[in-house]
Homo-oligomer: A and B are copies of this chain.
Amino acid sequence: MSVNLAHSETISSLKVARRPWPVIVGEAAKTAPSGDDFAALETVGARMTFGRNETIFSEGDCAKYCYRLVSGSVRLCKLLADGRRQISDFFLPGDFFGYADFDTYALSAEAVTGVVVTRYARNQVEAVSESDSRFRRRLGQLLHERFNAAQLHLVMLGRYTVKERISSFLIQMAERLDPGAGSADEIELPMSRLDIADYLGLTIETVCRAISDLKRADVIAVPSIHRIVLRKPSVLRDLVEGGEHLLA
């Protein structure tokens, strides 16, 4: 099983990233969408920065804070004693995370790229939630969304083939990364192949091979390593749905 070497600099937390990576600042430092349900928290948030592969919080830590991602991207994962890793979710700018836990975090959150977050004390979030029913509903809705996403993830890990997993992942990322309407046809994947593998329950080699297959079939193009062009999104969709053959 793949050895995990992601934790070279897991200690300090306010350190600036050595090399901020695609912190897409100019173009896409997406601020909160206009009708922002988090306005109530605006005043109590603290802005923070994490470097690539830095840990934002660890499984078992006292869950004092929750976070809103401003820029970059974050993985939520669980590490087994022998190095096996499962990523349960990726977060993108605008996502709110770290609130779906009890006293301690159930999983670790790590910066996939250089990251900027706003950090909120949980007791303050809870106070606002207690008094503001609109905010509370919004928070509940977010939790439900994460829950439903986890259910789909479950089906994928339990029953999808490799091709279905990769296709489903690409479509899903295209939808999430596209701010506006239907999924964009070109996406910038912030995470490494190993991250993708650990999200899909595969090995990095299998992920590479599946991507190469799609490239060979001209369903996607890969101009640079973190950039993917969906040339035939419909084929990707078919690969996921029929749950069947379509790719040579």
Residues on A lying within 8 angstroms of B by beta carbon are 78-82, 84-86, 88, 100-102, 106-107, 130, 133, 140, 143-144, 146-148, 150-151, 153-155, 157-159, 198, 200-201, 241-244, 246
Q: Which residues of B contact A155 (CB under 8 A)?
A: 78, 80, 86, 88
B144 touches A101 (CB 8 A): yes
Q: Which residues of B contact A148 (CB under 8 A)?
A: 101-102, 106
Q: Which residues of B contact A82 (CB under 8 A)?
A: 242-244
Q: A151-B88, A154-B86 are in contact. Are A244 and B144 (CB under 8 A)?
A: no
Q: A154-B88, A154-B157, A243-B82 are in contact. Are A146 and B147 (CB under 8 A)?
A: yes
Q: Which residues of B contact A78 (CB under 8 A)?
A: 151, 155, 246
CA distance A101 to B198 in the complex (A): 27
CB distance from A89 to the nearest CB of B (A): 9
Pick from A84, A133, A155, A201 the residue with the most CB of B within 10 Å. A155
CA distance A29 to B121 in the complex (A): 43
Q: Which residues of B contact A79 (CB under 8 A)?
A: 244
A244 touches B158 (CB 8 A): no
User: Given B102, B133, B150, which contacts A144 in the complex, CB threshold below 8 Å?
Assistant: B102
Q: Which residues of B contact A84 (CB under 8 A)?
A: 159, 243
Query: For residue A76, which residue of chain B has the nearest CB?
Result: B151
CB distance from A44 to the nearest CB of B (A): 21
A85 touches B159 (CB 8 A): yes
CA distance A147 to B155 in the complex (A): 15
